[in-house]
Copies of this chain bind each other. A is one copy, B any other.
């Protein structure tokens, strides 16, 4: 199954921060809070949203910071996604 966002919506997948210990062991970062970084999974077509013309400025695969508490959490095929409006994306992480 695939999520196709409408209007100015963007589908995100939250990034799990990984930490490498000094000895080189990678520990998935579930204990460390880093809640707002995510990867762009799908981008809506933009166009007229609430009477205003919206151009989409993010693309699939980018890492982004999104606004805390924004968006709706959706579970598809046992994977959890967050659907936000593009305006809730604050910055791209390069």
Contacts and interface: CB of A to CB of B under 8 A. Distances in A.
A24 interface: no
How often does this chain occur in the complex, in copies?
7
Contacts of A5: 90-91
Q: How large is the interface on A (under 10, 10 to 19, 20 to 34, 35 or more residues)?
A: 35 or more
B51 A6 contact: no
Nearest to A33: B75
8 contacts: A3-B65, A4-B92, A7-B57, A36-B74, A48-B54, A48-B55, A65-B83, A68-B72
Interface of A: 1-7, 9, 11, 34, 36, 42, 44, 47-55, 57-58, 65, 67-68, 72, 74-76, 83, 86-87, 89-94
